[in-house]
Amino acid sequence: MTDAGHGDSNAPVRGFSFLPRLPGFSPLSLGGPVLVGLLCLIVARLGFETYAPYGADAAFGIAVGAAAVVAMAQSLILAARPPLVEPLFGGLDHMYRVHKWLGISAMVLMILHQQIEPDFDRVVRETSLGELGEEAGELAFNALLALVAVSWFRRLPFIGLEIPYQIWRFSHRFMGALFAIVLFHQFFVDMPAGVDPTFKVVLNAFGIAGVVAWILTEWVAPRLRRREYAVTGITQTGDTTTLTLCPQGRAMRWRPGQFAFLRAPEAGLSEPHPFTIASAPRPDGALTFCVRALGGWTRSLPHKLRTGMRVQIEGPYGRFDFRKGGARQIWLAGGIGITPFLAWAQSLTEAEQRDIHLVHCVRTQEEAIGTETLRAAAARNPRFSFQVVVTARDGRLTADRLISAAPFAVSQADLWFCGPTGLKDGILKGLQAQGQTPRRVRFEHFEFA
């Protein structure tokens, strides 16, 4: 292990240790998933009760259809990245996962609705608009089924085939348009008159909210939320490009550990991509991104972007914040997963009272970006220490090595992780086997899956 910097060590103390049942979700961030689930159930129940006089089958068919509409509407609302509800989910990455599962649940519920199609033929007079509403429902159902299947199976298991992100994203854009057709079906399909209108009002409100959210996501929010920055520095280390950006106008305010979407239309890179801000906030609003070449967009970035070019930033997002953690912390980074820790390390002052040990695992020395930032943080604060594990030279990091290198008992510390899932799972398994399970585990996903 190389490039180590150490501060004071602390005597280990015994205490209660646990792993959260839902990794990545804190008890508080379960509020969002519980809320969206409850809303689906409440509206489904309202639908069931409203149509119960027409028989259990009809009422159940309506209930599952209603739950599908509410799930889909909420999925579209979450896709609009509403900043106010992000805390309920514990960050945008978790919010996107709930968005995905709402979409999948909506699909399953729609299939059920189609199978138990409520039959009101004997009590309603068919109208041509109602028939059109029914046909619209069929059309939207089949198209949504195809789109959700594409989204769900973006990465085909076992054969490793992946639909390119751009194609997937393009197909995803039509979800809202198809949902608007579902809304048409909901508005005009022939239904018995004389029932309590509350259910219809509530369901229509969800439907309209979903369509409005989609319009906001696609056309309004991108223009309102973007801020202009200029590229003031580009450096290359191996396959990682470090960009320094300066605000041209109102600067974005962020907390260390947050991320933002970057697009560079001037360089022909118009699609926004998420990157963690790898620097702590500065008075001049300048910020740094470290971008690893992992695909088409990121590979072409260093060739297309030049100093002086304008880029656009949307954010900040995310709730990865070590200040929410305990007095002893292990920060574990794999490869480019170092970026949130670089921002945290840069934000550490001499007054920081937490004991922190950072381990950065990289395959080659070239991948070890930000070592200067880590050295400076260790020099500023003796409670911060770090080490870089270069796998090609030092071998893989094991739980044993982590335990012996940490200046305090790992079982007494919180573990903050950003990197490949395999590294996290391997280390956690090893720590558990050694009776050194960390008090809490928090991690950032570099993927919205």
Ligand X SMILES: Cc1cc2nc3c(=O)[nH]c(=O)nc-3n(C[C@H](O)[C@H](O)[C@H](O)COP(=O)(O)OP(=O)(O)OC[C@H]3O[C@@H](n4cnc5c(N)ncnc54)[C@H](O)[C@@H]3O)c2cc1C
Decide: helix, strand or coil at residue 296. helix
Determine if 296 is a binding residue for ligand X (CB under 6 A): yes
Within a 10 A sphere around the Cβ of 306, how many other Cβ atoms?
Answer: 11
Q: In 252-341, at which residue ranges do the beta strands (DSSP E only) sit?
A: 259-264, 269-276, 287-292, 310-317, 328-334
- Which member of 181, 291, 305, 358 binds ligand X (CB under 6 A)? 291
Interface of this chain with ligand X, residues 320 to 339, rule: CB under 6 A? 336, 339
- Peptide bond connecting 222 to the previous residue in cis, omega within 30 degrees of 0: no
- Which member of 290, 359, 362, 378 binds ligand X (CB under 6 A)? 290
Taking CB under 6 A as the binding criterion, the range among 136-144, 203-211, 271-279, 432-440 that sits at the site for ligand X is: 271-279
- Which member of 120, 206, 297, 417 binds ligand X (CB under 6 A)? 297
Q: In 30-114, at which residue ranges do the beta strands (DSSP E only) sit?
A: none
Degrees, nearest 5: CA angle 300-306-312 = 80
Q: Judged by CB, which is closer to ligand X: 27, or 164?
A: 164
Q: Is 164 exposed, middle or buried (0-12, 13-18, 19+ CB in 10 A)?
A: exposed
C-alpha 268: how far from chain center: 26
Within a 10 A sphere around the Cβ of 166, how many other Cβ atoms?
Answer: 12
182 to 134, 148, 225: CA distances (angstroms)? 9, 15, 29
Determine if 229 is a binding residue for ligand X (CB under 6 A): no
| Dihedral in degrees, nearest 10, Cα atoms 105, 260, 344, 19 | 0
Taking CB under 6 A as the binding criterion, the range among 61-69, 111-119, 294-302, 370-378 that sits at the site for ligand X is: 294-302
Residue nearest to ligand X (CB): 295
Taking CB under 6 A as the binding criterion, the range among 33-41, 135-143, 288-296, 374-382 that sits at the site for ligand X is: 288-296
- Which member of 165, 204, 244, 391 binds ligand X (CB under 6 A)? 165
Taking CB under 6 A as the binding criterion, the range among 135-143, 284-292, 354-362, 387-395 that sits at the site for ligand X is: 284-292
Determine if 416 is a binding residue for ligand X (CB under 6 A): no
Q: Judged by CB, which is closer to ligand X: 192, or 274?
A: 274
Minimum separation from the CB atom of position 391 to ligand X (A):
19
Minimum separation from the CB atom of position 338 to ligand X (A):
8
Q: Are 255 and 341 in contact (CB under 8 A)?
A: no
Minimum separation from the CB atom of position 103 to ligand X (A):
16
Handedness of CA 307, 308, 311, 313 (dihedral sign): positive
Minimum separation from the CB atom of position 364 to ligand X (A):
16
Q: In 335-393, at which residue ranges do the beta strands (DSSP E only) sit?
A: 355-362, 384-390
Determine if 294 is a binding residue for ligand X (CB under 6 A): yes
Minimum separation from the CB atom of position 294 to ligand X (A):
4
The 89-108 site mask, x for binding ligand X (CB under 6 A), equals ----x---------------
Provide the token pair at 379.
């020099």
Q: Judged by CB, which is closer to ligand X: 284, or 447?
A: 447
Determine if 265 is a binding residue for ligand X (CB under 6 A): no
**DSSP sequence for 196-260:** -THHHHHHHHHHHHHHHHHHIIIIIHHHHHEEEEEEEEEEEETTEEEEEEEESSSPPP--TT-EE
Summarize as ranges the residues that interact with ligand X (CB under 6 A): 93, 165, 259, 271-276, 290-292, 294-298, 336, 339, 446-448
